[in-house]
Structure 1
């Protein structure tokens, strides 16, 4: 399966517009909104239970660690995803029929009763999509960095603390499960948003240093002992790491769609055919993909 640079680098992809609204209301594997709402409710409550527990135990941690940023943005994502799924099951109009890419819809100004226009995402969808990008990237960065650079210097008792295990392992597992359950697409150009958030975190670390709060966020990020190394790490973490991590998710998105097609659920309708005359199964896919 493949995609094209011409498709991926379209301007509309930068604006979180190139998806169908149902991508946020339904799973990749079923169009039953009720099932999806139940899933969203469970995962939202589960994560927020741990998030609140982390706040209660805040005296053992610091707000400026990347781990806490990651858990917080994951919480925001699950919150908005939950609210969006509720919105999807309560709106009166819903899209019926095969799901094609919004670019294949030549007249988005006209609608038929009972049909939801494709490509018209509102702010709720767009914020959910943005948080999806940020939370997945943060978690995939935090977990390996923690176990490779931080965990070895901690006591076994501290590593085994339930809240630590959740933040540095379970959270990523939940996001990976969600990545394959949900139908939210992955656009490679969204890597710029991961870079922007990484830049925001780097600025925060610098402010924390100069404000005298802490010059040592992690052992490898110590402005007092080696400012040059710390600056170099922040630059690499801002420019290079998001590209690598987001590319991994982009590859996983390809894998998800390959599995989706292999199960017989990914048949794309003919763009030149009137979809109302067919009963093809809905497909959350990128039409640039081809087998």
Structure 2
């Protein structure tokens, strides 16, 4: 039997580069409805956690939309797209957890409801991290001086913090090949900003662009920004994957009984001998 400890530390990531890992299928539907750390099949604490997260983002989205609606320009910003996705993913997770708490056998392997949740959670996490980094490094320094403000913290900092915490407590896996989903959202927004520019749209301040780094009057800058964001998104996909692997590493050593760990590791070897 091959000793798992002798494997390269990068082997889990190398194993991800398979065609099957693009799919949104997972054999255990309960993993999408539970926490990695809960005891037992159902947990009222987990259910409360899920709804508190949903309420947190619901309050932020509602307050920011009311305060910054400005004849609909609220909807043109990637920040607000990401904010809405945070609300959507967390609320979706709360609904899934509630259904499971009431009726654990409701979801079946391959359920489309769970596939949508899996893709949206990963996409939202990667997008939140990218929004946070780009805002504080490229956009905020160019803004007029003054207090940071609750909205900036809520939409450009708390979003990433909350989604990273969620990545560390959920029970479902992360697939590196799911990078295609945040990539599609990013490219969709880039195309939207181009269409918005040609349609004569303006930003909150009346400028003929949404963000100055997406000013299509300077196509080199805009294209470079889109390409840079794609690279950042891919880097964050890898980062989120390793957060998942770190979570499993801690779980196997601190929570999961040693017999279960050995069974998990020996299963592939048994399949090979059949």
Partner Cα distance (1:235, 1:244) in 2: 13
Shift, 1:78, TM fit: 0.7
SS in 2 for 1:205: helix
Q: Which residue of 2 aligns with 1:130?
A: 119
Q: Which aligned pairs between 1:128-207 and structure 2 lie closer than 5 A? A: 128-157=117-146, 159-207=147-195
Q: CA RMSD in A?
A: 2.4
Partner Cα distance (1:192, 1:219) in 2: 26
Does the Cα contact within 8 Å between 2:201 and 2:209 map onto a contact in 1? Answer: no
Q: Which residue of 2 aligns with 1:25?
A: 33
Equivalent residue for 2:79, pick from 63, 67, 88? 67
Does the Cα contact within 8 Å between 1:25 and 1:36 map onto a contact in 2? Answer: no
**2:197 aligned with 1:231, yes or no?**
no
**2:265 aligned with 1:243, yes or no?**
no
Shift, 1:222, TM fit: 1.4
Partner Cα distance (1:92, 1:23) in 2: 11
Q: Name the CA shift for 1:273/1:254 in 2 (closer, same or farther; >3 Å).
A: closer
Which has the larger share of helix? Answer: 2
Equivalent residue for 1:35, pick from 45, 51, 60? 45
**2:253 aligned with 1:262, yes or no?**
yes
Identify the range of structure 1 (85-94 vs 189-198) with the bigger mean alpha-carbon deviation.
Answer: 85-94
Partner Cα distance (1:145, 1:19) in 2: 36
Does the Cα contact within 8 Å between 1:221 and 1:233 map onto a contact in 2? Answer: yes
Residues 33-84 of structure 1 deviation map (CA, whole Å, 9 limit, x = unaligned) = 3221111011111111111111111336632221111101111101111111
For CA contacts below 8 A with separation 6 or more, give which structure has more relative contact order. 1
Identify the range of structure 1 (240-249 vs 30-39) with the bigger mean alpha-carbon deviation.
Answer: 30-39
Q: Name the CA shift for 1:129/1:207 in 2 (closer, same or farther; >3 Å).
A: same
Does the Cα contact within 8 Å between 2:65 and 2:74 map onto a contact in 1? Answer: no
TM-score (norm 1): 0.77
Q: Name the CA shift for 1:272/1:193 in 2 (closer, same or farther; >3 Å).
A: closer
Partner Cα distance (1:10, 1:244) in 2: 19
TM-score (norm 2): 0.82
Q: Which residue of 2 aligns with 1:83?
A: 95
Q: Name the CA shift for 1:121/1:211 in 2 (closer, same or farther; >3 Å).
A: same
How many residues get paired?
248
Q: Which runs of 5+ in 1 are unaligned?
A: 95-115, 275-291
